[in-house]
Each structure stands twice: as structure tokens, then as C-alpha cells.
């Protein structure tokens, strides 16, 4: 029987793209690749999830609150919106994370839909077995989402040409990919 799959798009938001407050080099270049995956999943009637970093204005995640990052992806701001060219269908499920003022919450599996249902639970309800994951950033939210997905028992394929990293250290993205593969993720650059 064919494997049940879902597309999980991580944090393709303005603040992570060039011009944003926590911009990832070439972050916007994932959009065209992801749009091709969206089109395929959508026309096959397969589920599409999009996570968003969705912070309160004041959080310990920000350097203004003692954390690591410049303020970014604040709820209901321009920077928190999905990239304008990301062609998410209306049926895509939006999963918001980082809403707590006290936690970083890098993983999509720490996030919930509008009704407070977690990503893992939603995927299990659909009988999903494998996740195809792309988005931003390779070395943070993509990595932790992939690792948690594997821990929760899903098979995971990293869409390697549909991710970009923050690279605080230049090797961070490459190391993150190694870590995901070591944990059991497959990698693909094919347009499925």
C-alpha cells in the first residue's frame, strides 16, 4: 500500500527572508521550490501544513527579553506574515509556535493549530506516515521539527533544496543536515 504523506512547510515568513529582521541568506529562494511541492500535494489531495513562528511582542526568545534573537515574527505584524509569493491553498493547516513569552519553541511539534491541537496529533489523525519538510531555518526550526517528527515515529524526508539556514557559524546548516540524517531522515532534491 502506498505510504501516506504530508507536506510540512516551516516558517516561510517575511522576517526570515531578505529585508526581514532575522533574515536568512537566500531565504526567499525556498518559495519557488516549495510552491512546486504545494502544487503537487494540493492536486493529489494530500495534506499541507504550514508552521509559523508567532511570537508575542515581549518574550525571553528576543534579545530585548534576555534571549538570543532580534525581535522577529511578532503576531499580527508584516514580518510575521508568510512570504507573499508562498502559494498556500486555503485548505493548508496553519500551525503557530513560539507563542509563549517564556520559551523558544523551535519545533513545529511544540505548536498547535487554531483549536489548540498539536501537529503530531493532527498528522496521526490523518494516518500520515511520512513528512516532507522544507522551509526556514535549516539549523533551527527545520532541524528541530525534523528531529521531533522522527522521535514521534514519522518517517521524514528533508527537501534539501527547499531549506536555508541562519548559519550563525557558517557550518551550522551542513551540521544540522548531518544531524537530521544521522537521526534517520532521508534527503531529497527531487521534485516529487
User: Which sequence positions are flagged as catalytic?
Assistant: 11, 97, 141
Residue choice 92, 133, 136, 156 for contact with ligand VGL (CB under 6 A): 136
SS (H, E, C) 12-81: CEHHHCCCCCCCCCCHHHHHHHHHHHHHHHHHCCCCEEEEEECECCCCCCEHHHCCCECCCCECCCHHHC
Q: Does 11 bind ligand VGL (CB under 6 A)?
A: yes
Residues 148-187 within binding reach of ligand VGL (CB under 6 A): 166
Smallest distance from ligand VGL to CB 45, Å: 28
140 touches ligand VGL by CB under 6 A: yes
- Residues composing the chain: 192
Residue 17 in the binding site for ligand VGL (CB under 6 A): no
Partners of 50 in the beta sheet? 9, 94
Give the one entry of ligand VGL, Zn ion, none that residue 131 binds, where binding means its C-beta sits below a cut-off of 5 to 8 angstroms depending on kind.
none
Q: Which CA distances in Å does 25 have to 35, 137, 140?
A: 19, 10, 14
Question: How many beta carbons lie within 10 A of that of residue 31, not counting itself?
Answer: 20
Cβ proximity to ligand VGL, 144 vs 154, nearer residue: 144
* Residue of the chain from 17, 128, 141, 147 that contacts ligand VGL (CB under 6 A): 141
Residues in contact with ligand VGL, shown as a per-residue x/- string from 39 to 78 under the rule CB under 6 A? --------------x---------------x---------
> Could you tell which of ligand VGL, Zn ion, none binds residue 141, using a CB distance below 5 to 8 A set by kind?
ligand VGL
CA dist list (Å): 55 to 69, 78, 82, 142, 179: 12, 13, 14, 17, 27
- Rounded to a whole number of angstroms, the minimum distance from the CB of residue 110 to ligand VGL is 12
For Zn ion, the closer CB: 28 or 53: 53
Residue 136 contact, options Zn ion, ligand VGL, none, Cβ 5-8 Å cut-off depending on partner type: ligand VGL
Rounded-to-10 torsion of CA 82, 86, 91, 96: -20
Report the C-alpha gap between 37 and 192 in whole angstroms.
7
Question: Interface residues with ligand VGL (CB under 6 A)?
Answer: 11, 53, 69, 136-137, 140-141, 166
Amino acid at each position: 500500500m502506498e505510504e501516506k504523506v504530508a507536506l510540512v512547510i516551516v516558517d516561510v515568513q517575511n522576517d526570515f527572508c531578505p529585508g526581514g529582521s532575522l533574515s536568512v541568506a537566500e531565504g526567499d529562494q525556498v518559495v519557488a521550490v516549495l510552491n512546486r511541492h504545494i502544487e503537487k500535494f494540493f492536486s493529489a489531495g494530500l495534506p499541507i501544513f504550514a508552521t509559523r513562528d508567532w511570537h508575542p511582542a515581549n518574550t525571553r526568545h528576543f534579545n530585548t527579553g534576555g534571549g538570543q534573537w532580534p525581535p522577529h515574527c511578532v503576531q499580527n505584524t508584516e514580518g510575521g506574515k508568510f512570504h507573499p509569493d508562498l502559494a498556500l491553498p486555503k485548505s493548508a493547516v496553519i500551525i503557530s509556535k513560539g507563542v509563549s513569552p517564556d520559551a523558544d519553541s523551535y519545533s513545529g511539534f511544540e505548536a498547535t493549530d487554531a483549536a489548540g491541537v498539536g501537529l503530531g496529533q493532527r498528522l496521526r489523525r490523518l494516518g500520515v506516515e511520512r513528512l516532507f519538510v522544507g522551509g526556514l531555518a535549516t539549523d533551527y526550526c527545520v532541524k528541530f521539527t525534523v528531529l521531533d517528527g522522527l522521535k514521534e515515529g514519522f518517517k521524514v524526508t528533508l527537501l534539501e533544496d527547499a531549506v536555508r539556514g541562519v548559519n550563525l557559524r557558517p557550518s551550522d546548516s551542513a551540521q544540522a543536515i548531518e544531524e537530521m540524517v544521522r537521526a534517520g531522515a532521508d534527503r531529497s532534491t527531487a521534485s516529487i
